[in-house]
């Protein structure tokens, strides 16, 4: 059974295994397929029409499935690897070990935003950006520049306290847990982290930065935490909603998975903060 760990607690060997698996997926072209898929959904999910990956109730189950798919690819390279999560309420500065040269590398230089250290620096030769929204081939970041502060634990807790999963009109103007977590409304949680990192992470081609996966693994964990706090609340809407993925509708691009299938993460993985479920070891 896969255990997703806090990135701050990874051993040097675990960090190396994770970054090596990322570089291998990049080399084989698998990585860029995920970038393209995400970019496509970001550009076509619309408040006024069909929406699946973003600005809609299925933001959370869509990304859970997207990360599962990606994690499975990592595990084909190295079966010991799982997706770490980045708790940015705790590791909230550019001097966090996350951004050290033995892991993701640091912020970009002022002149052009280029990341100069770590395994994903352009000069290291293994991380050329091809699926970006512009022609620059190098990974860029501007940590803490466009917005000064990452979300705080208090801000996250206020969102986790919201008992209703999502509300009509099921888009970026909705009230409820999902849209406050996504960040189109209120204190701005998920969106703000993309903006704080800057560079490709702030664009529609955000998975070009490996931190994308760790950010979304933590968002995914917050969904699990919300479920734990609100055991009587569930995914909404239930059925018959135009342009939106209802509980038992299938989600593109897979077309064989529904939000209902994604509600219990323990079918697929656990977090290092929770006990392994009884009878773990099946499924994957």
Partner 1 sequence: MNKITRRQALGASVGALSAIGLIGAAAHVANAATPAASIPGGTVNEVYQGRRIQITPATGGGHHGGHHGAGLPTVLIDGRELHVMRNADGTWISVVNHYETFADPASLARAAVRELQGATLAPFAPMSMSMPMGGAA
DSSP for 203-259, written as a single string: STTGGGSTHHHHHHHHHHHHHHHHHHH-TT---S--S--TTS--TTS--TTTSS--H
Least spacing, CB of residue 66 vs partner 1, in Å: 8
Find the binder of partner 1 among 14, 69, 117, 225 (CB under 8 A): 69
Judged by CB under 8 A, the stretch of 13-21, 42-50, 87-95, 120-128 that binds partner 1 is 42-50
Please measure the distance between the N-terminal and C-terminal CA atoms of the chain and give it in whole angstroms: 7
Distances (CA, A) of 7 to 4, 75, 163, 256, 271: 9, 17, 29, 31, 12
Judged by CB under 8 A, the stretch of 44-52, 115-123, 148-156, 158-166 that binds partner 1 is 44-52
195 part of the interface to partner 1, by CB under 8 A: yes
30 part of the interface to partner 1, by CB under 8 A: yes
Of the pair 67, 121, the CB lying nearest partner 1 is at 67
User: Which of 230, 243, 239, 223 is closest to 171 using CA atoms?
Assistant: 243
Instruction: Give the number of other CB atoms < 10 A from CB of residue 187.
Output: 15
Judged by CB under 8 A, the stretch of 32-40, 116-124, 149-157, 264-272 that binds partner 1 is 32-40
Of the pair 76, 229, the CB lying nearest partner 1 is at 76
Q: What is the 8-class DSSP label of residue 224?
A: H
Q: What CA–CA distance (Å, rounded) separates 40 from 256?
A: 19
Least spacing, CB of residue 123 vs partner 1, in Å: 18
Would you tell me which residues interact with partner 1 (CB under 8 A)? 28, 30, 33-34, 36-37, 39-40, 42-44, 46-50, 55, 66, 69-70, 72-73, 76, 112-113, 132-136, 146, 169, 171-173, 183-184, 190-192, 194-195, 202-206, 241-246, 249, 252-254
């Amino acid at each position: 059974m896969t255990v997703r760990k806090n990135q701050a607690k990874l051993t040097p060997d675990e960090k190396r295994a994770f970054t090596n698996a990322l570089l291998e997926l990049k080399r084989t072209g698998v990585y860029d397929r995920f970038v393209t898929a995400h970019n496509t959904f970001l550009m076509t999910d619309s408040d006024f029409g069909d929406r699946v990956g973003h600005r809609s109730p299925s933001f959370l189950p869509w990304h859970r499935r997207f990360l599962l798919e990606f994690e499975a690819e990592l595990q084909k390279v190295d079966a010991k690897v799982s997706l770490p999560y980045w708790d940015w309420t705790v590791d909230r500065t550019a001097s966090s070990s996350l951004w050290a040269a033995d892991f993701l590398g640091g912020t970009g230089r002022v002149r052009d935003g280029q990341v100069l250290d770590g395994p994903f620096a352009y000069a290291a030769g293994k991380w050329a950006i091809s699926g970006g929204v512009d022609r620059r081939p190098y990974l860029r970041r501007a940590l803490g520049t466009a917005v000064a502060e990452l979300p705080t634990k208090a801000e996250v807790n206020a969102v986790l306290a919201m008992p209703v999963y999502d509300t009509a009109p099921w888009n970026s103007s909705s009230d409820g847990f999902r849209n406050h977590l996504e960040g189109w409304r209120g204190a701005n949680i998920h969106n703000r982290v993309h903006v704080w990192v800057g560079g490709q992470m702030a664009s529609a081609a955000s998975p070009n930065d490996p931190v994308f996966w760790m950010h979304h693994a933590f968002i995914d964990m917050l969904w699990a935490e919300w479920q734990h706090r609100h055991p009587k609340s569930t995914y909404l809407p239930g059925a018959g909603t135009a342009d939106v993925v209802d509980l038992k509708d299938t989600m593109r691009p897979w077309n064989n998975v529904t939000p209902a299938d994604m509600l219990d993460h323990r079918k697929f993985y656990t977090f290092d903060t929770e006990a392994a479920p009884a009878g773990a070891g099946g499924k994957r």
